[in-house]
């Protein structure tokens, strides 16, 4: 596992060739968003963006063409209220954390509505949730949502019932107090991001490890595509191994080719390219 990650990290550093001054060159940018916060990439390179301020989800290709849209302000079936986390990694369904409507929206790959999983669907009070900030699915189709109201993670089976809850006081060292984002990797490990640390759980919600305090500062998002885990702050992107150890740090000063480098919101490594989301567009670093 460690060797495979090291090879992937080497591929990333080889693909992203720095200038003589040690900077990485922007190849191009895509998108024209009102106020995006999160994005996801499917296996063929389609990019799905939560344009939170516009209450929209957008599907784009890597050329920047808009292929589909979903949403608009509201609480009806085809509307959204402050969409945040989004997961389209498997290329079949798209899951959106509809924060203001207290629900998770399931769409097909063309952004057609399929279903919702919402607050109040479960009979057990322990299954209730509010203000979901993030959502991610594993290989078996189990869904994990970040329940911001109750400061925990819920595991949902078949998009219909809560089968587990973790990250609360019963999780000991894994108790989360200020969750901001979550991600699930190819081995179904669940990572929860807080401003100053990452907490890892196995697929059943058992605490595995947490990064040391002080390694991160005001982190906003996390992604776990392939063997690369990226944690993003406004001014830096941290590349971590699967035990939370820092392998590489990329800052605004390392980016060349833009008149002004915007604040970073999320970063995803895809096919030897690093894509960085800002509130108004996505930066694609040259390979």
The per-residue pLDDT for 215 is 84
- Calpha distance 267→275 (Å, rounded): 6
Is residue 138 included in any domain, yes or no?
no
| Distance from chain centroid for Cα 52 | 14
- Strand order from edge to edge, sheet including 24-30: 255-256, 24-30, 282-285, 273-277, 266-270
Q: What is the band of 20 on the pLDDT scale with cuts at 50, 70, 90? A: very low
Whether residue 266 is contained in a domain is answered as yes
Contact 174, 167 (CB under 8 A): yes
- Residue 191 is predicted with a pLDDT of 98
pLDDT of residue 2: 36
At 5, the pLDDT band (50, 70, 90 cuts) reads: very low
For the chain, the domain total comes to 1
Which residue pairs from 19-22 have beta carbons closer than 8 angstroms and sit at least 24 positions apart in sequence? 19/256, 21/256, 22/254
pLDDT digits (tens, 9 = 90+) for 117-144: 997 665 677 778 999 999 999 999 999 9
In this structure, the number of other CB atoms found within 10 A of the CB of residue 14 comes to: 10
Give the position of tokens 């920047």. 64
pLDDT category at 236 given cuts 50, 70, 90 is: very high
pLDDT at 271: 86
* Residue 238 in domain: yes
**Cβ contact 226:8 at 8 Å:** yes
Query: pTM for this one?
Result: 0.92
d(C-alpha 275, C-alpha 20), whole Å = 22
pLDDT, average across residues 66-87: 98
Residue that has been written with the tokens 């907490």 in this structure: 199
Q: Would 170 be classed as within a structural domain?
A: no
Residue 261 is classified by DSSP as: P
Q: Is residue 4 part of a domain?
A: yes
Residue 199 belongs to some domain of the structure = no
| CA pair distance 124, 145, nearest whole angstrom | 17
- What stretch of H or E contains 10? helix 2-15
pLDDT higher than 50, residue 6:
no
Which residue range is the domain that position 225 belongs to?
1-30+221-287
- 172 C-beta neighbours (distance < 10 Å), count: 7
Give residue 3's pLDDT: 40
Q: Is residue 52 part of a domain?
A: no
Interval 113-117 mean pLDDT = 97
pLDDT value for 228: 79
**If DSSP codes are grouped into helix, strand and coil, which group holds residue 267?**
strand
Structure tokens at 152: 């925990």
Q: What is the pLDDT of residue 15?
A: 56
Question: 47, 60 in Cβ contact below 8 A?
Answer: yes
Mean pLDDT over 104-108 rounds to: 98
Q: Which pLDDT belongs to residue 101?
A: 97
Quick one: which of 120, 117, 126 has its CA closest to 95? Answer: 117
Please indicate, yes or no, if residue 70 is contained in any of the structural domains.
no
Strands (E) across 19-99 are located at 24-30, 36-41, 47-51, 56-60, 66-71, 83-87, 93-98
User: pLDDT tens, 237-248?
Assistant: 999 998 899 999
221: which 2 tokens? 């998002």
Question: Looking at residue 272, what is its pLDDT?
Answer: 84
């Amino acid at each position: 596992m460690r060797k495979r990650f090291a090879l992937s990290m080497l591929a990333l550093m080889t693909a992203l060739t720095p200038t003589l001054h040690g900077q990485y060159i922007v190849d191009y940018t895509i998108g024209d968003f009102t106020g995006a916060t999160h994005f996801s990439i499917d296996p063929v390179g389609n990019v799905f963006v939560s344009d939170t301020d516009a209450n929209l989800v957008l599907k784009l290709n890597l050329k920047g063409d808009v292929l589909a849209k979903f949403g608009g302000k509201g609480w009806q079936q085809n509307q959204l209220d402050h969409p945040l986390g989004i997961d389209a990694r498997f290329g079949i369904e798209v899951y959106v954390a509809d924060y203001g409507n207290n629900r998770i929206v399931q769409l097909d790959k063309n952004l057609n509505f399929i279903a919702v999983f919402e607050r109040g669907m479960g009979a057990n009070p322990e299954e209730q949730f509010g203000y979901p900030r993030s959502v991610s699915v594993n290989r078996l189709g189990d869904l994990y949502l970040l329940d911001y109201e109750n400061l925990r993670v819920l595991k949902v089976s078949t998009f219909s019932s809560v089968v587990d809850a973790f990250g609360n006081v019963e999780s000991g060292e894994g108790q989360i107090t200020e969750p901001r984002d979550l991600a699930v990797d190819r081995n179904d490990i669940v990572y929860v991001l807080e401003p100053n640390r990452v907490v890892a759980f196995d697929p059943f919600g058992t605490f595995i490890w947490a990064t040391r305090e002080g390694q991160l500062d005001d982190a906003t998002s996390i992604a776990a595509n392939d063997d690369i885990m990226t944690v993003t702050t406004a001014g830096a992107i941290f590349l971590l191994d699967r035990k939370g150890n820092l392998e590489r740090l990329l800052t605004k000063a390392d980016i060349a080719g833009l008149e002004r480098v915007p604040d970073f919101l999320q970063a995803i490594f895809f096919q030897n390219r690093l894509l960085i989301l800002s509130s108004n567009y996505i930066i694609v670093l040259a390979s």
